[in-house]
Amino acid sequence: MTPVTQKLYTDDVSLLMVLLDTNPFFWSTSKSTSLSFSNFISHVLAFLNSVLLLNQFNQVVVIATGFNTCDYVYDSSSSPTNQRAETLLRKFEEFVVKDEQLSKEDSVDGIGNSLLSGSLSMALCYIQRVFRSGSLHPQPRILCLHGSPDGPGQYVAVMNAIFSAQRSMVPIDSCVLGVQHSAFLQQASYITGGVYLKPQQLDGLFQYLSTVFGTDLHSRRFLQLPKPVGVDFRASCFCHKNTIDMGYICSVCLSIFCKHHKKCSTCGSVFGQAQTNAPSTSNQKRKTADT
């Protein structure tokens, strides 16, 4: 990982953006897995404390990823050092209440998915602001603590966020708390050079966090960190938001469709007639899935 600009700071000063999944549907079902939400928060709090302990210039920003909304919950640069936990928890409660109010309108079936794309964008916006504040800034990275399954509807937004993180060389680390692997986060970490990990034992979450995700970007060049085992590269189609193995791609704007269209819905290009029996390889792209 190359640093974005020449830094006057010492090598290991970091800005950690933590995205916490607060999806109530996920946490209510996760009682079977050993981690309850309050335990989870206490692990995370200890982790935040330890990151801030490592360097006095380290900065931590927490963004809550709710079911309907997301918001900045804590920013270490604007809060006093004592009563860190109290401030965070208070804001957190306010956020959960707000999220709940918004969600009353529509009923959900299953766990539902939380607004990962929104919180990723917020994190990137924050990082951009830090980049523009001057030449002297800590090295940013994003840590997603995510449990809910991927929302195929957010595919485009999430991918855009990932690519913009890649452009500004911000690694996205992901720690998956749910039962299934997350294809979005696998791709995010793979593309941006972050670490993807699905902890085996969630009651030791702090040790995972401090060992793997506490590593600053400078030290990552010297340490063994978990390597991606297999990344699910499957894309979602733009028309029905389904995850697909095989599909059609617009040759102009690279939009993905699950079946043949006359016109691209994104850029408006008119497609030729599809050869029904044997689609030519030029307008069809195959993506392999290793699951």
Partner 1 sequence: MPQVKIIAKNFMDMVASLPAMKLDKLYDNAFICEAILRSLPPLAKKYVLQMLYIDVPVSAKSMQEWVLADGFSKHNVAIDRLIQLRLFTEAVDRKKETTYRLNPTFQINLQKHIIHGGVLPREPMPSNITVRLPSLEDLDAYAAEQWECFLLHLISSSTQGEKTTNFSSSLMKIFQRGLLSQRDKEPPKLTESGFQFLLMDTNAQLWYIIREYITNSEERGLDSADLISFMLELSFHVTGEAYNMNTLTDSQRNVIKDLADLGLVKLQQGRKESWFIPTKLATNLSISLSDTASRKLGFVVVETNFRVYAYSTSKLHCEILRLFSRVEYQLPNLIVAAITKENLYNAFENGIMAEQIISFLQQNAHPRVAERVPSVPENVTDQIRLWESDMNRVEITPAHFYDEFPTREVFDAACDFAREYGGLLWEDSKTMRLVVKAEILMHMRDFLRREKQ
Interacting residues with partner 1 (CB under 8 A): 8-12, 45-46, 49-50, 52-57, 81-85, 136, 206-207, 210-211, 214-216, 218-219, 221-224
- For partner 1, give the closer residue by CB, 19 or 212: 212
Largest Cα separation within the chain, whole Å, is 69
How far is residue 244's CA from residue 183's CA, in Å, rounded to a whole number?
A: 12
Our CB check for partner 1 shows the closer of 225 and 274 to be 225
Q: How far apart are CA 90 and CA 102, in angstroms?
A: 19
Token duo for residue 234: 């499957």
Shortest spacing between CB 49 and partner 1, in angstroms: 5
Of the pair 22, 76, the CB lying nearest partner 1 is at: 76
Residue showing tokens 């700071």: 9
Give dist(CA 161, CA 192) in Å, integer.
Answer: 11
Nearest distance in Å: CB 204, partner 1:
9
Report, in Å, the least distance between residue 61 CB and partner 1: 16
- State in angstroms the smallest separation of the CB of 30 from partner 1: 23
Number of other residues whose CB lies within 10 A of the CB of residue 137: 21
Nearest CB to partner 1, comparing residues 29 and 87: 87
Q: d(Cα 20, Cα 48) in Å, to the nearest integer?
A: 12
In whole angstroms, how close is the CB of 271 to partner 1 at the nearest point?
48
Nearest to partner 1 of 103, 210 (CB atom): 210
77 or 83: CB nearest partner 1? 83
Q: Please name every residue paired with 14 in a beta bridge, in sequence order, or none if there are none.
A: 139
Distance CA 77, CA 97 (A): 25
Closest CA to 141 of 127, 121, 158, 160: 127
Minimum separation from the CB atom of position 50 to partner 1 (A): 5
Query: Encoding tokens for residue 141?
Result: 């990275």
| Cβ contact 155:236 at 8 Å | yes
Nearer to partner 1, 89 or 157 (CB): 89
Q: Using CA of residue 214, residue 220, residue 223, residue 227, what is the dihedral sign? A: positive
Bridge-based pairing state of the strands 139-146 and 70-75: unpaired
In the bound complex, what is the minimum distance in angstroms from residue 147's beta carbon to partner 1? 23
Query: From the centroid of its chain, how far is CA 287?
Result: 22
